[in-house]
Amino acid sequence: MERTERLRNRDKAAIWHPFTQMADWEKDDPLVIERGEGNYLFDTEGRKYFDGVSSLWVNLFGHRRKEIDHAVRTQLDRMAHSTFLGLSHVPAIELAEKLLAAAPPGLSRVFYSDNGSTAMEIAIKMAFQYWRQREGGAQAREEFLALSEAYHGDTIGSVSAGGIDLFHKIFRPLLFSTRRVPAPHCYRCPYGLSRPSCGLFCAERMEAEIRGRKDTLAAAIAEPIVQGAAGMLLMPEGYLARLRAVTRECGVLLICDEVATGFGRTGTMFACEQEGVSPDILAVAKGMTGGYLPLAATLTTEEIYGAFLGRYEEFKTFFHGHSYTANPLGCAAALATLSIFEREDVLLHVSRLSGTMARELANLSGHRHVGEIRQKGLMAGIEIVADRETRERFPPEEKLGQRVTRKVRERGVILRPLGDVIVLMPPLSSTEAEIESLVRTAGWAIDAVLGGRHAWGGHSST
């Protein structure tokens, strides 16, 4: 305990943590994690915790996965890093081929970066420059359309496309203007309608906005199927397909942000596959390296790539890059991760786990403070409300989400909330018993913090 306390004090004296109110942190006794093994993390006191959010949505196959460990060590014996500006290397070439083989049809080029935000920054800049340089030109296409409640990262371009006021409002003077349409949030419908009688009115409004701006829109941007940071909001069935259809009809590019939803999280390799959608630009990161190393990629079509080709003196080059672009260690980890998908029936396993999670979550739907349960694959959110009938939220100063996720640690689980939405994002390598325990522990913590259950039924989306 003495060692742990020293480490906590050193942390508090020197470190500024992301998305953390440090005044609270300085009064807390934070966990200090020392090692990982399989689907578990261990703190400096030797206590074991199930990694219920996959180390912030990145860990696919557990910690210390032997195939990924071996791939990184083997690459380290060869080369840790080489610039990708003016040079190439073997793991980046092999990884690009595997990514394109796994991606939705029509994507043929890979541009590497190092995290999801930069992958989206690249997508936005590519789309903008494409319209400036394509044959015939289109100088007026400078606008982007995005959903409210969107989250695409924390760099300025990505924040401009984002729509979560809590994160983004303060930076508004720094941002470029984005056309915004209300998110298709069925539980809190911005139009006051309900499914299925609404007739997907939200899609109609989105289509009307794109048709009305088709001569000025460079691209529409969306997190397909699940808006993660917004609280695991699920797109109603058919919305994404209609977004693809109207962008194609109007000649507007479609950028899909699969940083969170990619690599099996929603039950398919990429979420957009569930509605047969192939975007013009696809951003991926997080799970690509199995949660081992920071690596991201922006995939695009040959048509977009072609607009950047020309004589040197035309300066059509895409002038964007990073010091650690296509880091070989990250590429090696990603290759090993994709090899696991190839060798094992990962998606079938995810389907089984998803069914187990849905059955267990249904048992929580009657709780008097559970407003809605939203799940797609192994992405789930339990929205905690003060009043189920009115859907009124708890005051933020009550910190309900934080209190619940802090409580689960008593039973050996690590979770992190999104406001008062309790997020469950376990590794794809979880067992059915671990999924059952995870959901039951979340339910126990909700009971412990908020009191017992009520007999009436709940609102559940799977």
Size (the chain), residues? 462
Query: Which pair of tokens denotes residue 155?
Result: 């760099």
Is-contact 54 426, C-beta < 8 A? yes
pLDDT digits (tens, 9 = 90+) for 371-422: 999 999 999 999 999 999 999 999 999 999 999 999 999 999 999 999 999 9
Band (pLDDT 50/70/90 cuts) for residue 136 is: confident
Q: Report CA-CA distances (Å) from 460 to 153, 190, 233, 274.
A: 28, 19, 12, 20
Of all residues in the chain, what percent carry a pLDDT higher than 90? 95
Is-contact 317 308, C-beta < 8 A? yes
pLDDT digits (tens, 9 = 90+) for 414-460: 999 999 999 999 999 999 999 999 999 999 999 999 986 543 333 44
Measured CA to CA, the distance from residue 217 to residue 50 in angstroms comes to 45
Is-contact 263 337, C-beta < 8 A? yes
Measured CA to CA, the distance from residue 439 to residue 363 in angstroms comes to 9
Measured CA to CA, the distance from residue 221 to residue 240 in angstroms comes to 11
Partners of 423 in the β-ladder: 381
Band (pLDDT 50/70/90 cuts) for residue 140 is: confident
Residue whose entry in the numeric block shows the structure tokens 């187990």:
356
Phi, psi of 145, deg, nearest 5: -110, 135
Measured CA to CA, the distance from residue 137 to residue 114 in angstroms comes to 31
pLDDT for position 453: 55
Phi, psi of 48, deg, nearest 5: -105, 135
Residue 265 has pLDDT above 50, yes or no: yes
Q: Report CA-CA distances (Å) from 124 to 178, 255, 402.
A: 11, 8, 34
Phi, psi of 133, deg, nearest 5: -110, -10
Is-contact 68 61, C-beta < 8 A? yes
Band (pLDDT 50/70/90 cuts) for residue 135 is: confident
Antiparallel, parallel or unpaired: β 143-147 and 179-181 = parallel
Query: Which pair of tokens denotes residue 109?
Result: 């080029």
In the chain, what are the domains?
31-64+346-461 (3.90.1150.10), 68-343 (3.40.640.10)
Phi-psi region of 282 (alpha: psi -120 to 50; beta: other; left: phi over 0): beta
Q: Average of pLDDT values for 123-134?
A: 96
Query: Which pair of tokens denotes residue 371?
Result: 């407003």
Neighbours of 370 (CB within 10 A): 24
Collapsing DSSP to helix, strand or coil, 371 comes out as strand
Band (pLDDT 50/70/90 cuts) for residue 230 is: very high
Is-contact 127 219, C-beta < 8 A? yes
The closest of 228, 227, 253, 264 to 378, measured between CA atoms, is 264
pTM of the model: 0.95
Collapsing DSSP to helix, strand or coil, 65 comes out as coil
Residue 368 has pLDDT above 80, yes or no: yes
The closest of 93, 65, 118, 111 to 333, measured between CA atoms, is 65
Q: Average of pLDDT values for 287-314?
A: 97
pLDDT for position 107: 98
Residues 6+ apart with CB under 8 A from 6: none
Residue 82 has pLDDT above 50, yes or no: yes
Is-contact 283 120, C-beta < 8 A? yes
Q: Average of pLDDT values for 132-145?
A: 85
Measured CA to CA, the distance from residue 334 to residue 37 in angstroms comes to 19
pLDDT for position 296: 98
pLDDT for position 176: 93
pLDDT digits (tens, 9 = 90+) for 161-200: 999 999 999 999 999 999 999 999 999 999 999 999 999 9
pLDDT mean across residues, the chain: 95
pLDDT for position 401: 97
Antiparallel, parallel or unpaired: β 48-51 and 413-414 = parallel
Helices (H) and strands (E) in the chain, counts: 15, 18
Is-contact 31 395, C-beta < 8 A? no
Is-contact 66 93, C-beta < 8 A? no
Query: Which pair of tokens denotes residue 86?
Result: 């003016």
Q: What angle do CA 86, 91, 93 make, to 5 degrees?
A: 60
Is-contact 297 99, C-beta < 8 A? yes
